[in-house]
Amino acid sequence: MSRDLGYYWLRIAIYVALSICVGSIFFDVGTNYNSILARGACGGFISGFMTFMSIGGFPSFIEELKVFYRERRNGHYGVAVYILSNFLSSFPFLTVMSLSTAAITYYMVKFHPGISHFMYVSLDLISSIATVESCMMMIASLVPNFMMGVIIGAGYIGLLMMTAGYFRLLPDLPKIFWRYPVSYINYGAWALQGAYKNDMVGLEFDGFISGGPKLKGDVVLTSMLGIHLDHSKWWDLAAVIMILIAYRLLFFIILKFKERVSPLFRTLYTWRTLQHMKKRPSFRKTSAFPSKRHQVLHSLSSQEGLNSPIH
């Protein structure tokens, strides 16, 4: 991972550059009435698109899986060891990526002040990016080539972004399928809810009318953003971590299943190929049509009806 420039180093540089752009656009967003939607937009961009960029590591995932399949066939290590070592190896890079993004955007935008709020933003980003990478690894193990993986991965993450609660509020999602169960198994929905709570709970915003009563952050969350406050933001973070673990377990199951089933499929494919070849005329024991080339050769004496001393 450290030797490959495009695996993490380039992505870290892109994250830093994009974080500076986001910080400059939403610089010192404030607590006036218009800043409510600005904070929501900034949080939605960080929780959605910044994690979506993890799909850029898909080519490296494909190459890494090729190495794993070869070394696994040689018996160097097991599936569980590979999944655990892959996560531990990527964790320092994910930490640098998340901390740099959180530090730049948090202090430029001036989110809710406090070290605990900053730590929550960092942990939320780390767990979200790790979840997307685990999802991409799972998809990479299922598809036969790079292009198909990118298309399926981008489509899947796009659906998760649409049901995360920013483009359409969670209470307004159609109850069948999109609200239950898609939004509940969507890491983005939990991550965005936690980010909103972390930023707005405890803040006060100016009212729509200048000089009017202040709007509490709790009221803004429930009335404008559709976020329920019946559980803590830490439960939202725990839900993201549980989805991360679930993706890793699915990745393990897929690799073990392919390892057990692949020999059976290869055997079946070989048997069917041999059966098909036996039906082809060029592979039959007898000629499919009379030809002088395929007739059995006899000695000249036997053809003339004479006896040969050799016989």
Neighbours of 198 (CB within 10 A): 25
Indicate if the pLDDT at residue 204 is higher than 60.
yes
How confident is the model at residue 244, as a pLDDT? 95
Q: How confident is the model at residue 266 (pLDDT cuts 50, 70, 90)?
A: confident
Nearest partner of 113 among 216, 28, 48, judged by Cα: 28
Residue 288 amino acid letter: A
DSSP letter, residue 280:
S
Distances (CA, A) of 106 to 11, 22, 60, 272, 304: 19, 10, 30, 61, 104
Q: What is the pLDDT of residues 137-152, one digit of tens each?
A: 999 999 888 889 889 9
Confidence of residue 55 (pLDDT cuts 50, 70, 90): confident
Lowest mean pLDDT among 39-48, 176-185, 192-201, 257-266: 257-266
Residue 72 included in any domain? yes
- 258 assigned to some structural domain: yes
Query: Is 304 part of any domain?
Result: no
Percent pLDDT > 90 in the chain is 56
> Is 115 inside any structural domain?
yes
Q: Mean pLDDT across the chain, nearest whole number?
A: 87
Give me the pLDDT at residue 67, please. 92
Using pLDDT thresholds of 50, 70 and 90, give the confidence band for residue 209. Answer: confident
Assign 20 a pLDDT band (cuts: 50, 70, 90): very high
Residue 101 lies in a domain: yes
Question: Hunting for tokens 């690799």 — which residue is that?
Answer: 255
Q: Using DSSP, state whether 215 is helix, strand or coil.
A: strand
Helix (H, G, I), strand (E, B) or coil at 8: helix
Compute, in degrees rounded to 10, the torsion defined by CA atoms 105, 111, 114, 118. -40
What 8-state DSSP symbol labels residue 216?
Answer: E
Alpha helices in the chain (DSSP H): 10-25, 35-52, 58-73, 79-109, 115-140, 146-162, 187-200, 217-223, 233-279, 300-304
Does position 45 have pLDDT exceeding 60, yes or no?
Answer: yes
Q: What is the pLDDT of residues 87-139, one digit of tens each?
A: 999 999 999 999 999 999 999 999 999 999 999 999 999 999 999 999 999 99
pLDDT at residue 289 in the model: 53
Give the pLDDT band of residue 48 (cuts 50, 70, 90): confident
Residue 307 within a domain: no
Flag whether 292 is in a domain: no
Residue 116 lies in a domain: yes
Determine the structural domain holding residue 127 and report its residue range. Answer: 5-268
Q: Is the pLDDT of residue 296 over 70?
A: no
Other beta carbons within 10 angstroms of residue 142's beta carbon come to 12
215 DSSP β-pair partners = 205
Q: Which residues pair with 204 in a beta bridge?
A: 216
Number of domains in the chain: 1
Structure-model confidence comparison of residues 295 and 78, the more confident one? 78
Q: How far is CA 3 from CA 6, 10, 203, 218, in A?
A: 9, 12, 45, 47
Q: State the DSSP string of 141-202.
A: TT-SSHHHHHHHHHHHHHHHHHTSSSSS-GGGS-TEETTEEGGGS-HHHHHHHHHHHHHHTT
Mean pLDDT of 202-208: 87
> Do you find a cis peptide bond into 181, omega within 30 degrees of 0?
yes
The label of the residue with tokens 């299922």 reads 142
